[in-house]
Amino acid sequence: MNTAPEWIARSVSRLRSAAPASDNKAPGDKPARAAAADKANVTDVVAKVAAPRSTNERLAATLRRGQEALSPRALRRLLADLQEVVAPQVSELEGGRRAQGVAQWYAEASAEERRDMWLLLCEQFAPDATRFKSARQRYEAAAGTAEEGQAEISLRRALVSPRTRLLQRFAVFPEGMRFLVDMRAELLPLLKADKRLLALDAELEHLFSTWFDVAFLELRRLSWDSPASLIEKLIKYEAVHDIRSWADVKNRLDSDRRCYGFFHPRLPNEPLIFVEVALVDHISSSITPLLDEAAAPADLARATTAIFYSISNTQTGLRGVSFGDSLIKHVVETLTEEFPRLRTFATLSPIPGFRGWLAKHAAPMLERLDEKRRGELGRAVGFEPPQAAHLLTALEKPLELDARSPVRQLLLECAAHYLARELAEGKPVDPVARFHLGNGARVERLNWGGDPSTKGLKQSYGLMVNYLYDLKRIDKHRSLLAQGKIPTSGDIDSLCKN
């Protein structure tokens, strides 16, 4: 069936084709101006017709319109089912059973029908604005009096929306938590295009931050003896260094390695986040030997250093729920108990945002060079004075650059500047740096050719970085970062000595 906007546009097109030739004059002629005005009016009409209706308008309507998935009748039926889940007289158990029925409908629904359910959750189960306003006024009036405590309780209750209670009922049935996490994963990519969905996303994130608090999580070690289904999850969710084979998995779970994950009791066979650790006698500068399946296991009796070389979140629906820092702390405590000789805890991390950043900032980085270095670089790239395009072209095969190459030296300096100086809203611009530095680590060392894989070259010209977790200075490092200062082991020049 044709939509109203399509019908209007087609009708206007027919009217234009039927207009007399005398109407098609120069822009300054009156008929042409009138035609332009008509076109603008039609555009306004089409825009109004195409504007999505609220669920209130759709629930009160008789017919479906445009691209709406559920008819008004079906939408009313779905709303009634959702309301039955949180009906006052319904117990938690019965509410969970009814929520499971809605989840079964959802599993068979199309993407557009699921979106209609999200809109109902956003618009039909919002907090009572009048009640909230009244409670807030009462709280403000009671400030500093004996009634302040009771007023605060009333305000807190007014903030609990029917949507909160509804989502809590979905968490009751056995697969309910899995349902909610997956639903948010579907929801996230659509938030920029449809702001109406933001309330539902915020509600889910708030609930997840409570339900997935570290106090409710279990740290478990994954080993070669773990169930095959769990090892398959490790392969599936590995996000830093792709697992190529079962031999690769076995190497990562060998005697000189450790792999730990956080698990939630309602998702018992799903690691929420996991970390892979290599036990060695020095800070690693390259991922290649760590992923070498033919390498002999390291001597654990000589291990003094734990290298966190891969940390992967597994659940897109839990975005914004932070438990990575807690995972590292728990792993450090566990490793220290098992290996008292361990003294150094560091990462070997990718720099995923560096290449894209340099593509935009190569020119200002070149402007920092003095005349001597600019001349040396120009001779190395074959153009004087060198421009940003010349530098980026010369970096296409970074692993072939000599250790004394001006191009290689500048690349290291740019990476050091990116990691040690670049901030956005007070936080490091690189996502991995933001994670580790936010947890209290410091930038320790840059590593040339640390990841020679295709992915490593694409992300950061093969560069990797060590972030050091100095357990005695974690709070100090966090304090520096809060002041807009990125903690490093030294100045930029020292980071480049590799």
Q: Which of 284, 310, 312, 349 is catalytic?
A: 349
DSSP state of 78: H
Question: How far apart (Å, rounded) are the C-alpha atoms in residues 291 and 288?
Answer: 5
d(CA 49, CA 60): 17
349 has catalytic annotation: yes
Distance of CA 114 to the CA centre of its chain: 22
Q: What are phi and psi of 305, to 5 degrees?
A: -135, 135
Query: Under DSSP, is residue 444 helix (H, G, I), strand (E, B) or coil?
Result: strand
Rounded to whole angstroms, how far apart are CA atoms 70 and 427? 43
In the structure encoding, which two tokens stand for residue 281, read together?
Answer: 């006698």
Separation CA 398–CA 479 (nearest Å): 36
436 is catalytic: yes
Phi, psi of 484, deg, nearest 5: 85, 20
Beta pairing partners, 344: 305
Give the phi and the psi of residue 308 in degrees, each rounded to 5.
-85, 105
Nearest to 136 by CA among 151, 123, 147: 151
Q: Which of 241, 436, 460, 477 is catalytic?
A: 436
DSSP assignment string, 273-305: EEEEEEEESS----STGGG-TTSPPP-GGG--E
Distance CA 243, CA 155 (A): 51
Nearest-10 crossing angle of helices 176-187, 111-124: 100
Burial of 473 (0-12, 13-18, 19+ CB in 10 A): middle
- Neighbouring C-alpha atoms within 13 Å toward the C-beta of 121: 28
Distance in angstroms (rounded) separating the CA atoms of residues 93 and 95:
5
Q: Is 126 exposed, middle or buried, given 0-12, 13-18 or 19+ CB atoms closer than 10 A?
A: middle
The CA distance from 400 to 435, in Å, is: 31
Neighbours of 168 (CB within 10 A): 20
For the record, the structure tokens of 162 come out as 């029917």
Among all residues, which ones are annotated catalytic? 349, 436
